[in-house]
Amino acid sequence: MKQFVRFLAFAVATVVIMSSCSKEHVAPAAKDYFTLWNQCEALMSLQEYVADVTNPASANYIRPEDRIATFDMDGTFIGELYPTYFEYNLLEYRALDDPQYRNIAPDDVREAAQEIRDFVRNGTPLPAHFDMKHAQAAAKAYAGMTLAEFDAYVKAYAARPANGFTGMTYGQSFYKPMLQVFDYLEANGFTYYVVSGSDRFICRALVEDLGIEPNRVIGMDVRLQSSSQGTEAGVNYTMGAEEDIVRTDELIIKNLKTNKVLQISQEIGKVPVLSFGNSGGDAAMHNYCLSSPHRSMAFMLIADDDQRDHADRQKALQLGEQWRQAGYQVVSMRDDFKTIYGEGVQKVDFTF
């Protein structure tokens, strides 16, 4: 009996040891979030920052509820060089090519669309402050559409092949390395928001496939109303269950520069601790981030890759130096990204 008990104890111990060894053997390695990045200063700075502020023992520890990151969209994690912004291309198509609209487009909408076409095809400079002219024209161009109709319209255009590339539609033109930043931040308890100068509902349509919820998208806004509201103020009108929400032609805000800061303050209610952008339109958002009482960082992408993208490398390098002097971390798309749009995507000449 004693011999049997000793044998049983030995057997149990052996199973425990083998089980322990087996589990140790198959334990997964820490996930590498940055397989599409080269080792670079910007990436190492981001990783060091995240390790620091998520460490409860660090003096720089940030609670999860305060780990807010903001991302510009065009040129920061989605292409803008085909050959211009997606929303500019969309307005050009709407006013000049869409058979359902081009013959009824107001003169000022058609004029803005033609200026985009002249810029794209002939290199004619856009007029000063064209961002506002475009915003006002775009408000008119899609007025009367329900939100569902506009969403479908954006997605239909996004399904077209991206001009200047093969193997990619407009809706697929995400910078793949930047999508890994989203995953990394989310895994470390950050909440990230898209804060774009583009129309809020264009942004929502484009980022839907990334799993970014609509309430984490901030952009240019037009006034909305219910489909039967007419001219009556919303405070005096009760919407019926059968009604839709429709766009009007009234521009509320073009979400650029300091307007980005104001919208972040109103809609998020906290100062971001990380900010990502690619142009002067994002500098105010970056500066707001760097004013945080928490340790914070701001990153600027520069479009310096003229082999895989339609970039002006010399201009990009000059901007890179400007951003460094402003205190921002610089991401070089040429040097820091192993790929931009993913395998199978090739830069080609623009077609018109």
- Specify if 299 maps to a domain: yes
- 126-151 mean pLDDT: 98
Rounded-to-integer distance, Cα 232 and Cα 230, Å: 6
- Specify if 89 maps to a domain: no
Residue 17 scores a pLDDT above 80? no
- Specify if 183 maps to a domain: yes
- 28-56 mean pLDDT: 92
- CATH, residue 67: 3.40.50.1000
- Specify if 287 maps to a domain: yes
Domain count, the chain: 1
Residue 274's domain comprises 43-55+63-83+163-347
The pLDDT tens digits for 280-305 are 999 999 999 999 999 999 999 999 99
The pLDDT tens digits for 209-259 are 999 999 999 999 999 999 999 999 999 999 999 999 999 999 999 999 999
Residue 29 scores a pLDDT above 90? no
Q: Are 197 and 256 in contact (CB under 8 A)?
A: yes
Q: Where are the alpha helices (DSSP H) in 54-199?
A: 86-96, 107-122, 130-141, 147-158, 176-187
pLDDT at 30: 59
- 182-199 mean pLDDT: 98
- Specify if 153 maps to a domain: no
- Specify if 146 maps to a domain: no
Buried-exposed string 228-262: b where 16+ CB fall within 10 A, e elsewhere: ebeeeeeeeeeeeeeeeebbbbebebbbbbebbbe
- Specify if 211 maps to a domain: yes
Q: Of all helices (H) and strands (E), which one includes residue 332?
A: strand 329-332
- Specify if 231 maps to a domain: yes
Average pLDDT, the chain: 93
pLDDT at 13: 45
The single-letter DSSP state of residue 29 is P
Q: Are 245 and 200 in contact (CB under 8 A)?
A: no
Q: Is residue 44 classed exposed, middle or buried when 0-12, 13-18 and 19+ CB atoms within 10 A define those classes? A: exposed
Residue 20 scores a pLDDT above 50? no
